[in-house]
Structure 1
Amino acid sequence: MRPKVSIIIPTYNRSELLGRALDSVMSQGFDDFEVLVIDGARSQSTRELVRSYGDGRLRYVPQRGRGIANARNLGVLKARGKFIAFLDDDDRWRDDKLERQLEFFKELPENYGLVYTAFTYYHLEKGRILGIKRPKASGNVYRYLLRDNITGTSTIMVRRECFKRAGLFRESFPTCEDWDMWLRMSKRCLFGAVDQPLVDYSIHSGQFSFARYLTGRYRMIEEHGDIRDNPRILSYHLLQIGLLKVFGGDRRGVEDILRAFRLNPLMRGNLTDVLGSVLDVRTKIYILKFLGRL
């Protein structure tokens, strides 16, 4: 019998954190699920960790280290559930996360294909919450996703059929592959949002590379004509990128800022959004990480 939910957890040599993530799954009040642990390192320790739970709902899937987008795609292709949920190996769920999302899906029309939730930024080393990221939009969220990635992948539950319409994660993206996926999916289905934080998104040292993030961000501009060819939206991205660069000590960010103002001299439709973005908890955390303060 097929499970109701397939949970996809990509991992790479992080057994201790993976155990924390798996514990949060196994403590869910809803239990009709399967878990696909996609192991890019093909490590014995990860295989043994999965087996140690002694639970047939957990499936160990070796992967040849082709990155997180490939791992998620492999999970989607192997998933048997009607719904797919994602969990990064360094994050964890609250114990009512799956139940709350499934109940919300029951209340929504069929054209809602994805439900995401608020989440906390949790500092692993300090053991404390740094802030809460709440949903920015619901329903038709395409115009919001053109400007910002409004959610985190570990919060998402999506109808499996949506991938048939939107395609899979694009493995050529160095970062922002999740943002690209949800933007494409938002053109084909509506999004629901749960305002309660049901996920702890972990902040820890060595988490991501600023340079790789910017490469992915520029790739978003290149691949999406509704960003690239719209002066207001493009100027928003360049202004945000430029400010992040400057805060991170990269003076070349001034070039992006100047280009943003050339595209939209009065910043019509952008100043409020950019200021809101700069004050957003996610941006604050990114800046602190870039400065080596987290």
Structure 2
Amino acid sequence: MRPEVSVIIPTYKRYELLKRAIDSVLTQTFDDFEVLVVDGARSKSIRELVRSFEDRRLRYIPQTGTGIANARNLGVLKARGNFIAFLDDDDRWREDKLELQIKAFNELPKDYGLVYTAFTYYYLDRNKIIGVKRPKASGDVYRHLLKDNITGTSTIMVRRECFKRAGLFREDFVTCEDWDMWLRMAKICRFGAIDEPLVDYTIHSGQFSFAKYLTGRYRMIEAHGDIRHNPKVLSYHLLQIGILKLFSGDKSGAKDLLRAFGLNPTMRGNISEILSSIFDVRTKIYIFKFLGRL
């Protein structure tokens, strides 16, 4: 029988963290789901870990391609559920996450195709929560996603049918492939939001590559005309990029800042977003990583 929810967990050589992620799914108060563990390393240890749970809802899928986007796409194509939820192998869910999202879908109009939640930033090395990211918008969120990735992939549940209209994750994105996906999804459906933090997004060493992030950020600008051809939106992106570059010690960030102010000298329409972005916990985490404090 078709499960209500398919949970997709891409993984690559993170045995202990993957075990924690799977545990957080199997202890959910809502239990009508399947779990697809897509293994990028195609390792015997991960295959045996999945089998060790002795739970028929778990499916081990060796990844034939490469990259996180390819892994998620493989999961989407093999999913049997009416809804699809994503969980990165280093994150974990609170026990009522699926239950509350299914409840939200049942209460929302049918044009709502995606529900996301608040999440905590969990610092693994010190076993502590260092911040909370709450939903910024619901309903028609397209204009918000043009400037920022307001979601977290491990928080998301989406109607499977939405992928037929929006397409799959773009595999030519090095990073920001999730942001690109949700921006395209926002064109075809409305988003619901749950203000309660139901996911621990894990911060740990070896996780962050600033160079790859920049590549993905520039790719977002290139791929979306509504960013590239809108001076206010483009200036916002370039301002963020410039600031992050300078904090990382890359002096070329000054050129991005100059271009940003050249496009929008007064930063009209961006002031409140810029201020909130500067003080956002995610920006602080990026800066702390650059400074070697995380």
TM-score (norm 1): 0.99
Q: What CA distance in whole angstroms lies between the structure 2 residues aligned with 1:134 and 1:78?
A: 31
Contact kept, 8 Å, 1:231 with 1:263, in 2: the verdict is: yes
Structure 1: unaligned runs, 5 residues or longer: none
Contact kept, 8 Å, 1:145 with 1:183, in 2: the verdict is: yes
Residue in 2 that maps onto 1:273: 273
Matched pairs, number = 294
Residue in 2 that maps onto 1:235: 235
Q: What CA distance in whole angstroms lies between the structure 2 residues aligned with 1:41 and 1:96?
A: 30
Q: What CA distance in whole angstroms lies between the structure 1 residues aligned with 2:93 and 2:2?
A: 23
AA partner of residue 118 (structure 1): A
Contact kept, 8 Å, 1:10 with 1:71, in 2: the verdict is: yes
Residue in 2 that maps onto 1:18: 18
Give the Å deviation of 1:65.
Answer: 5.1
Residue in 1 that maps onto 2:200: 200
1:191 aligned onto 2:183: no
AA partner of residue 32 (structure 1): D
AA partner of residue 50 (structure 2): V
1:95 aligned onto 2:90: no
The one-character-per-residue Cα deviations of 1:22-79 (angstroms, maximum 9, x if unpaired) are 0000100010000000000000110000000001100000013500000000000000
Any residues of structure 2 matched to 1:115-154 within 5 Å, and which? 115-154=115-154
1:214 aligned onto 2:217: no
1:244 aligned onto 2:244: yes
Residue in 2 that maps onto 1:4: 4
Q: What CA distance in whole angstroms lies between the structure 2 residues aligned with 1:166 and 1:92?
A: 27
Contact kept, 8 Å, 1:41 with 1:65, in 2: the verdict is: no
AA partner of residue 159 (structure 1): R
Contact kept, 8 Å, 1:142 with 1:186, in 2: the verdict is: yes
AA partner of residue 78 (structure 2): K
Q: What CA distance in whole angstroms lies between the structure 1 residues aligned with 2:186 and 2:172?
A: 20
Q: What CA distance in whole angstroms lies between the structure 2 residues aligned with 1:287 and 1:56?
A: 43
Q: What CA distance in whole angstroms lies between the structure 2 residues aligned with 1:245 and 1:291?
A: 12
Helix, strand or coil for the counterpart of 1:105? Answer: helix
1:51 aligned onto 2:63: no
The one-character-per-residue Cα deviations of 1:148-167 (angstroms, maximum 9, x if unpaired) are 00011000000000000000
Percentage of identical aligned residues: 77
Helix, strand or coil for the counterpart of 2:267? Answer: coil
Residue in 2 that maps onto 1:72: 72
Segment drifting more, 15-24 vs 62-71: 62-71
Any residues of structure 2 matched to 1:157-168 within 5 Å, and which? 157-168=157-168
Q: What CA distance in whole angstroms lies between the structure 2 residues aligned with 1:290 and 1:207?
A: 12
Deviation beyond 6 Å, 4+ runs, structure 1: none
Q: What CA distance in whole angstroms lies between the structure 1 residues aligned with 2:121 and 2:247?
A: 20
AA partner of residue 51 (structure 2): R
Give the Å deviation of 1:289.
Answer: 1.2
Backbone CA RMSD of aligned residues = 0.6
TM-score (norm 2): 0.99
AA partner of residue 104 (structure 1): A
Q: What CA distance in whole angstroms lies between the structure 1 residues aligned with 2:151 and 2:185?
A: 13
Residue in 1 that maps onto 2:108: 108
Q: What CA distance in whole angstroms lies between the structure 2 residues aligned with 1:253 and 1:280?
A: 20
